[in-house]
């Protein structure tokens, strides 16, 4: 059982999983992820399958769908694909569900029997989850390539997250994966 900042009790465990540069960026300013190796995408798909869901911001959905004809979210074989937006006119693409807040996302998945909502960014949505104290685990794959400017892992906002390191693994291409439990 987890109690969030508004006191609502939930049994789900929200996992944030992101690929970052060593200086904390997830994409170029224009949204390009061309500096990330394909292995990062393959690992993401494998992990998403374990959780049978993905939760993403509307901007992530649009950027990745428009830029990558292949290897976009349409090809991720999970039962639940959620897009979070404040827009009331955004139409859910076929195979996706639209929700309007982090809490609506976790509630939807909990009702569907999912125990581990799998949050996959981007940084603006990640920060929204962080502000509501909804993150339970954070998994970061640090890829050895620095971009000097870009979109951050977490949008700048007013929150702090204490964590306990659970695991560090070295992966191919010099990538390092760190798994943290969020201290509650």
Ligand X SMILES: NC(=O)c1ccc[n+]([C@@H]2O[C@H](COP(=O)([O-])OP(=O)(O)OC[C@H]3O[C@@H](n4cnc5c(N)ncnc54)[C@H](OP(=O)(O)O)[C@@H]3O)[C@@H](O)[C@H]2O)c1
Give the binding site for ligand X (CB under 6 A). 18-19, 26-27, 31, 33, 56-60, 63-64, 84-87, 90, 100-102, 120-125, 128, 151, 155
Q: Quick one: 1 or 34, whose CB is closer to ligand X?
A: 34
Residue of this chain nearest to ligand X (CB atom): 122
Backbone torsion region of residue 134, taken as left when φ is above 0, otherwise alpha when ψ lies between -120 and 50, otherwise beta: alpha
For ligand X, the closer CB: 113 or 149: 149
Closest approach, Cβ 6 to ligand X, in A, equals 13
Closest distance between ligand X and the C-beta of residue 38, in Å? 13
Q: Round to whole Å and give the CA distance between 108 and 105.
A: 5
Tracing tokens 């869901």 back to the chain, one arrives at 53
Residue with tokens 């970061």: 140
Cβ burial of 96 (10 Å; 0-12, 13-18, 19+) is middle
Nearer to ligand X, 1 or 89 (CB): 89
Q: Is 182 helix (H, G, I), strand (E, B) or coil?
A: strand
Distance CA 119, CA 54 (A): 6
Q: How far is the CB of 99 from ligand X (least distance, A)?
A: 8
The nearest distance, CB 60 to ligand X, in angstroms, is: 3
Between 45 and 124, whose beta carbon lies closer to ligand X?
A: 124
């Amino acid at each position: 059982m987890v109690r969030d900042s508004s006191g609502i009790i939930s049994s789900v465990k929200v996992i944030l999983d992101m690929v970052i540069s060593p200086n904390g960026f997830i994409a170029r300013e224009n949204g390009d992820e061309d500096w990330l190796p394909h292995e990062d995408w393959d690992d993401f798909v494998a992990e998403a399958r374990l959780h049978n869901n993905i939760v993403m911001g509307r901007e992530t959905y649009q950027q990745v769908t428009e830029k990558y004809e292949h290897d976009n979210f349409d090809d991720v074989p999970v039962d639940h694909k959620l897009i979070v937006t404040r827009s009331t006119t955004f139409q859910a693409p076929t195979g996706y569900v639209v929700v309007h807040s982090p809490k609506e996302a976790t509630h939807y998945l909990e009702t569907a029997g999912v125990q581990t909502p799998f949050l996959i960014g981007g940084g603006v949505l990640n920060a929204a989850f962080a502000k509501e104290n909804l993150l339970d685990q954070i998994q970061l794959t640090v890829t050895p390539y620095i971009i000097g400017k870009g979109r951050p892992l977490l949008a700048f906002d007013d929150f702090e997250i204490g964590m306990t390191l659970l695991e560090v693994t070295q992966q191919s291409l010099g990538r390092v994966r760190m798994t943290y439990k969020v201290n509650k």
